[in-house]
Amino acid sequence: MQFAMNALVEAYEAETGTQCEIILGSSGKLTAQIQEGAPYDLFFSADMKFPEALKATGNTIGEPIIYAQGQLVLWTSRKSPLHRVIEITRKETNHIALANPKTAPYGEAAIQVLRNLDLYDMVNSKLVYGESISQVNQFVISGAAEYGFTAKPVVLSPNMSSKGNWITIPDSLHAPINQAMVILRNERSMTDEAQRFMEFVLSEKGKALLQKFGYKTPPSKPFPTEERL
């Protein structure tokens, strides 16, 4: 969400004059920080699981709300065109990067893709795990990994769009990446301010920004949360 969130915050600050601070990290690591008392007001996760876990431990106010549905891409810094996921099985491929599936939903989705295409056993020894999508991006850009599974907003961002080639992974190959936001319970008394930012994200202006960065946004009927492969 880094690139989309920067755009959302910039637009929100211009519209309201309210200053926002962004703390970046994998969904799992941020959840652990929140459970340890980190003074955050809003949590934007790359899935539903971690916000629901925070709700279960009494760390939230209200219900998690889906703000977007993410799209997974396979990305390479190579200049040659990329057409199919099976290309990662080439002999010259040494490393394939993905985020830690235990803490990063996009990493979990990448594992599902490899298993559903019967490629996991073929490439397991070549997988390298980043702590977050950001580290996966660094692996790909630096050439430390020939391929990486990342989020579509990354490859659409202005500073990345001209680097390498990518393909969108069909949604049918992994569980939906429903991304949720939730207001956090703390002693800062910023609930009203957090609510206003949530409303902005769900507004037409907020949805347009999310769509610009490659996210699907909630239709009038919410995204299904129980859909599976």
In this structure, are residues 176 and 218 in contact, taking their beta carbons and an 8 Å threshold?
Answer: no
pLDDT of residue 10: 97
Superfamily of domain 72-173, CATH level 4: Periplasmic binding protein-like II (3.40.190.10)
pLDDT, mean of residues 131-136: 89
Looking at every residue in the chain, the average pLDDT score rounds to 91
**What pLDDT, on a 0 to 100 scale, did the predictor assign at position 226?**
43
| Residue with token string 């397991």 | 124
User: Residue 134 pLDDT > 70, yes or no?
Assistant: yes
| The two structure tokens encoding residue 203 | 């507004």
- Where in the chain are all domains bearing CATH 3.40.190.10? 2-67+178-212, 72-173
What is the mean predicted confidence (pLDDT) over 134-158? 92
Helix-strand-coil percent breakdown of the chain, rounded to 5? 40, 20, 40
User: For the whole model, what pTM was predicted?
Assistant: 0.78
The reported pLDDT for the residue numbered 225 is 47
pLDDT tops 50 at residue 228 = no
Instruction: Inform me whether the pLDDT recorded for 222 exceeds 60.
Output: no
Q: Please say if the pLDDT value at position 167 is more than 60.
A: yes
* Intra-chain end-to-end CA distance of the chain, in Å: 24
Q: Which CATH number fits domain 2-67+178-212: 1.10.10.10, 3.40.50.2300, 3.40.50.1010, 3.40.190.10?
A: 3.40.190.10
Tell whether the model's pLDDT for residue 223 goes beyond 70. no
Which pLDDT value is given to residue 136? Answer: 94
